[in-house]
Structure 1
Amino acid sequence: MHDIRTIRDDPAAFDAALARRGLAPMSSDLLALDAARRGSIQAAEAALQERNAASKQVGQAKASGDEAEFERLRALVADKKAEITRLEEEARETDARLRDALLGIPNLPYDDVPDGEDEADNVEIARWGTPRVFDFTPKEHFEIAGVVPGMDFETAAKLSGSRFVMLRGAVARIHRALAQWMLDVHTGENGLVEHMTPVLVRDDAMLGTDKLPKFGDDSFLTREGYWLIPTSEVTLTYSVAGDVLEEAALPLRMTAHTLCFRSEAGSAGRDTAGMLRQHQFEKVEMVSVTHPDQSRAELDRMTGLAQDILERLGLPYRTVVLCTGDMGFGARRTHDIEVWLPGQDTYREISSCSTTGDFQARRMNARFKPAAGGKPEFVHTLNGSGLAVGRCLIAVLENGQQADGSVTLPEVLAPYLGGKTALSPEGALV
């Protein structure tokens, strides 16, 4: 959420930053609400002073026997009390309108984010690996002979409808191995602290991590009022809501492997084949809570951790900086990592690493106490996939496929697969 004081100090800069996102100026409307709110507060304070002064004079008038003055002052006190109540209510209503307006405005891009309208304007900043040259036409993951027995869309549809999959046997084990291996790398080598979080959260957690109010249609809401998390970014980030952390405790680096749920309301007709875009999927998420001075470097670090996972798996990828028109609602800068999928003959997103600055921290009042003293300051929060497990499975299967329908698996997974290094054409680990 934005700080109205910053907008008040430089409305032109605020509008210019919104224009980079393709949005019309908003500062005038926001400042009008702010002025109305402040006016009501100031008027209420003035009325309170008048009421207090009159209250003191009431006793004096009573003691002097001036009944007319006594009645006038008593009526004035009553009038001022009603006026204060009215003004305070006006201030609350205007404050709520201002807060609602601020909650619906996206974050402002950093100066080094490229301008653009959509994904065509994203800028590549890194590329690793050379896509394999096949001596046959590579298939998509769900068409590979060895994968077909372990990737059941029909049974999943019978259970839950479209955009679900049931994994079984060797394919399910490879999926589990990927998640376990990623967690072991992140916790054993990268210094991230593992968490097991709830997947049901309240409104406040979704609001604090900028998923509400704008993106409610993209998530699932239960009858009891709980939201199914779209990613453990929500639970990990919101875990510091309302806290005042010691500066020495920063950065906090967290990871979690959870189920994730998305309604995919805006993706009708996209990626309907296979398991690329599902209502239910799994991710190993990374979240950092940092000092403001550290957040830009932390973004590069987080991006590097996700890239390292792909390199260890031997999967070619490219990294792009999202332009202003393609960047997410809460981000100030985003690095998307796209893995090569030979079955589609293209790169597809497998990780998105973003810094939100203090945007989420303001929404959830997460601060730190400066070691040098002074008032608490807002932390910065970052999130990134390390990685999306299902998409990683797709990439492993497609890049490792052989002409006979078998799949050669990355060596790093062998300890998690009982020493097995391949998927046979019949769907067994060998």
Structure 2
Amino acid sequence: MPSPQDQLTIGLLGAGSVGSQVARALVEERAHISARVGADVRLAGVAVRDVDSPRDWRIPGELLTTDAEGLVDRVDVVVELIGGMDPAADLITRALRRGAAVVTGNKALLAARGAELAAAAAESGAPLLYEASVGGAIPILRPIQESLSGDRITKIMGIVNGTTNYILDQMDSTGAPFDSSLQEAQRLGYAEADPTADVEGHDAAAKAAILGNLAFHSPFTIDDVHCEGIREVTADDIEAAAASGYVIKLLAIAERLDGEDGPAGAVLRVHPTLLPRHHPLASVRGAFNAVFVVAENAGELMFYGQGAGGQPTSSAVLGDLVTAARQLRGGTTVTPAGPAEDSGSLPALSIDQAHTQYYVDMTVDEREGVIAEIARVFADHHVSIESMRQPGAVTLTGEVEAAADDGVTVQIVTHIAQERALAATVEALRDLEVVESIDSVIRVDVDR
């Protein structure tokens, strides 16, 4: 390395909301950070596109540069906060190959090319740390990698996108529709002008890949994650969930399947989920994040905190920076940051193999025998019904009473069944003559 062990230089790539806070800490809290590392830590430069752009914190002009490659080539630790695929991937690889430590919060890059970056880190022995890529300030990746490394994680469920959690929480607490809740999230700065990555679930899917990668020691990518967003969640869905004691959350789920009634592997999925209001994740409000972990020996654990924002995320970045700097100074051997393909890896399975429950909201004809026909479809697909609710009146025989309007609403929650059977049941219901429309299908999680 170019610097002596009693001094370590830091190169920061990007000076957005998180990068500006990291730069501020490295300048204003240099003595504190250096004391934690046990060596003098100095910010050597900040690579940006435009040195004159306004920033959340005024970075000293002498630190700013547009030469990212030159900065990467002369520092001990590279902190990558520019995001995206290019040029981030090339700059990180360049740093790792020359033995520089890398700290990044680039979830999209890690979810797509994490194994490639881990291989570069393993080859040179350089640290590659990315706690900030999932959950903002929440320490979740290192506990999975280290504290739970001797345990066997079976399932992870996380609220890992603050934008969607804020929107769904607004819909639940105020009764507001999706569009106005999104607009409020944008007004408060929780949602981008283009919220596609958040509301379509892509941001959460990248984080699901990272969590699954570490939990199951397998090289998953975002392409292995089944992804559904929240655009189709309506105020009626929220109201129906509340009436039955549920709340709707967008969950990122990584689950191990042991192959008892199908292939062994892991299912990674992101979708709106009905949770009982007594579940710990159901109480996560606003733009906060939480990750719920189930392990064979540790049991149930939950990690909760601020999942986004410049200062919270900078906390995770700075924690990784201190760890990486200590490793460089001590000359410790660094464990590869991500798993390689080996005999312990789990294959990624289709969501068809998952076991879950369905909430089905449908409009049906208001005539005799409707309930019997619907029940027969469920029985034919070996899916049992846990509960059936009709917002309105039902006769003592279980038949839907006549109503003044065309059709009546029936809401069904199934027992746990394989996704393949549940999906086939819904398709069969669509073809049933007495079913006018399937208005909503949402998965249910009632593990607790």
TM-score computed with the length of structure 1 as normaliser: 0.21
Q: Which has the higher helix share?
A: 1
TM-score computed with the length of structure 2 as normaliser: 0.21
Q: Which has the higher strand share?
A: 2
Structure number with higher relative contact order (C-alpha < 8 Å, ≥ 6 residues apart): 1
Larger radius of gyration: 1
